[in-house]
Amino acid sequence: MGTIPENLRDAVAKARVDVAALHAELPRWGLVVWTAGNVSQRVRGEAADGSEDLLVIKPSGVTYDELTPESMVVCDLEGTLVDGDRSPSSDTAAHAYVYRHMSDVGGVVHTHSTYATAWAARREPVPCVLTMIADEFGGEIPIGPFALIGDDSIGRGIVETLRESRSPAVLMANHGPFTIGKDARAAVKAAVMVEEVARTVHISRQLGDPVPMATSDVDSLYDRYQNVYGR
């Protein structure tokens, strides 16, 4: 186990507080059961290439009632434990891969939220048929590849899919959604929104076909929401 550099201690302490609090949003919005799901946030080091960055993430197998700032664990961007009493989440390698390869990303969330995962099991993207999807995702919500845990496959699948999309969410095949954001809070928001729109479009599709939106309308809504509205 490494040590947290002196210059990052305050930022890590703050990230522990934020990440612990944001985990409570996952059960609150019905995105997780039992101990499933995890939120992480990047803590930027001084090196411009990100090589000194750290991430704060949930420990493995801990219930949502037990999550405190102190129980959060700190890893480097290879996923190696730097500080914490417990093992990091078994999804840490995927989070770390995203941070290594997407320098703008400051937060990552993974859940198995029901409706998003249902689309993922069919490997079918969620079509952009709601103004809310245009606002938040800028088009359809894409499917990532099927990938087994244990190496870089999941992380690579997330990054390759999201690089070709405006969506901050990817539905990993037969697995569930991963979302990104400028910080953990934005990634949690995307996790909440992806489930909400996956659910709404699913329900709409049950009784017929939602009316498609014109690409120009989608672009217009996305641009306004991201720029005028000020995210």
Question: Which positions lie near a second copy, rule CB under 8 A?
Answer: 29, 33-34, 36, 60, 90, 112, 114-115, 117-119, 121-124, 129-132, 146, 148-150, 173-176, 189, 192-193, 196, 199-211, 213, 217, 220-221, 224, 229
CA angle 149, 150, 155 (to 5 degrees): 65
CB of 164 vs a second copy, minimal distance in Å: 21
Name every residue whose Cβ is closer than 8 Å to that of residue 171 and which is 6 or more positions away in sequence: 116, 117, 119, 120, 125, 126, 141, 142, 143, 144, 177, 194, 198
Nearer to a second copy, 86 or 166 (CB): 86
- Tokens 């720029």, located at residue: 227
Which of 111, 178, 110, 114 is CA-nearest to residue 144?
Answer: 178
CB of 205 vs a second copy, minimal distance in Å: 6
Nearer to a second copy, 45 or 79 (CB): 79
CB of 48 vs a second copy, minimal distance in Å: 32
CB of 154 vs a second copy, minimal distance in Å: 10
Name every residue whose Cβ is closer than 8 Å to that of residue 212 and which is 6 or more positions away in sequence: 127, 129
CB of 209 vs a second copy, minimal distance in Å: 7
Q: Cα–chain-centroid distance for residue 166?
A: 14
CA angle 173, 178, 184 (to 5 degrees): 175
Nearer to a second copy, 51 or 174 (CB): 174
Determine which helix (DSSP H) or strand (DSSP E) holds 76, and give its type and residue range: strand 73-76
Which of 72, 96, 69, 95 is CA-nearest to residue 83?
Answer: 72
Nearer to a second copy, 69 or 225 (CB): 225
Nearer to a second copy, 46 or 151 (CB): 151
Nearer to a second copy, 54 or 93 (CB): 93
CB of 10 vs a second copy, minimal distance in Å: 25
Half-sphere exposure of 1 (CA within 13 A, CB side): 12
